[in-house]
Amino acid sequence: KMLIGLAGYLSGYDGTFLFQKPGDKYEHHNYMGMRGFCAFLGSLLVPFAYLTVLELSRSLPAALLSAALLTFDTGCLTLSQYILLDP
């Protein structure tokens, strides 16, 4: 939550939109910094999982399998697509 707040602060979000209901319009609020930050962290998840499994197991097939499972996991893609504080 704090990292998303920092991303919002750095991108100019003023903190007035409450994000209470999914589907609310963000008409005059700058949310792209927070959404981009979540997408950036989601894109780093696959390489970090690959490197972690490779380092811990020293098994290339296991590392590739873990990266492939995360790549094709639609739940992970959905969570990193939106600004969700408590998934």
pLDDT tens for 22-60 read: 666 767 777 788 888 888 988 999 999 999 999 999 999
Position 38 scores a pLDDT of 85
Q: Which residue has the higher pLDDT, 4 or 49?
A: 49
Position 22 scores a pLDDT of 67
The mean of the pLDDT values for the chain is: 84
Q: Which residue type sits at 26?
A: Y
Position 86 scores a pLDDT of 63
Position 67 scores a pLDDT of 94
Domain boundaries, the chain: 2-81
Q: b/e for 75-85, b at 16 or more Cβ within 10 A?
A: ebeeebeebee
